[in-house]
Amino acid sequence: MTYEHVPTRGILSLYKIPDHWTDDDFRYWWCPVVDKRTNQIMQAARMSDEAKANRLVQAPVENMLTNAGITLWLANNSASGQGNMYPFSQILSVGNGSFTGATRTATSVSGDGFTSGARKAPVSNSQVGFQSTIVFNFASGDAVGSWTNAGLYGYNTSSPANATTTSGTGTLMTIAPFVFTKGASAYAVNYVFLLSN
């Protein structure tokens, strides 16, 4: 018996946030307080889910796990110890290159690192039940331009290197169409992973 089912879905949502918020303001209002060891939520975000929903800019989009992402996901699930596990979601990259659709064979975001702030490290990671949420903050001066796609970069196991805000680092784990024109305003990207069976 074969299955075409991948056990997780990744959903990206884009929200308008106040331009005057500093990184500390963003963490204080938008992100939950989490246990640093387990990523379990200890206190909900001060801004309610309803208030966040009113700031949604466009319909959420689903990602596709790349071949490298599936390989790392499986490797981490079968690792014999934590020391043998590698980070899956170190950097979110938005790109402005030509994008015809998500494919499992994708190895980079089209237009990766096209401008300052187009690659962002997570501000918050949390887990509740069968859902994990990774939050990214694109300040008013970050990634200004036309976005066409986005993807998560993680650890490169073939030539060990962490994904960083420098273009070309890490390995592409997910890819998604992400069409948006960003001006000099601030936005949050919530990247939610849902585990299904």
Distance of CA 130 to the CA centre of its chain: 17
Asked, for residue 122, whether it belongs to a domain, the answer is yes
pTM over cut 0.85: yes
Asked, for residue 134, whether it belongs to a domain, the answer is yes
Asked, for residue 135, whether it belongs to a domain, the answer is yes
Asked, for residue 40, whether it belongs to a domain, the answer is yes
Q: Structural domain tally of the chain? A: 1
Domain that holds residue 138: 8-77+86-195
pLDDT at 116 over 60: yes
pLDDT at 43 over 80: yes
Percentage of the chain surpassing pLDDT 70? Answer: 93
Asked, for residue 60, whether it belongs to a domain, the answer is yes
Asked, for residue 1, whether it belongs to a domain, the answer is no
Beta bridge partners of 62: 11
pLDDT in tens, 139-193: 999 999 999 999 999 988 666 589 999 999 999 999 999 999 999 999 999 999 9
Residue with tokens 């949050």: 188
| Residue 132, CA distances (Å) to 20, 38, 40, 115, 124 in order | 28, 12, 9, 28, 10
pLDDT at 7 over 60: no
pLDDT at 197 over 70: no
Asked, for residue 56, whether it belongs to a domain, the answer is yes
Asked, for residue 3, whether it belongs to a domain, the answer is no
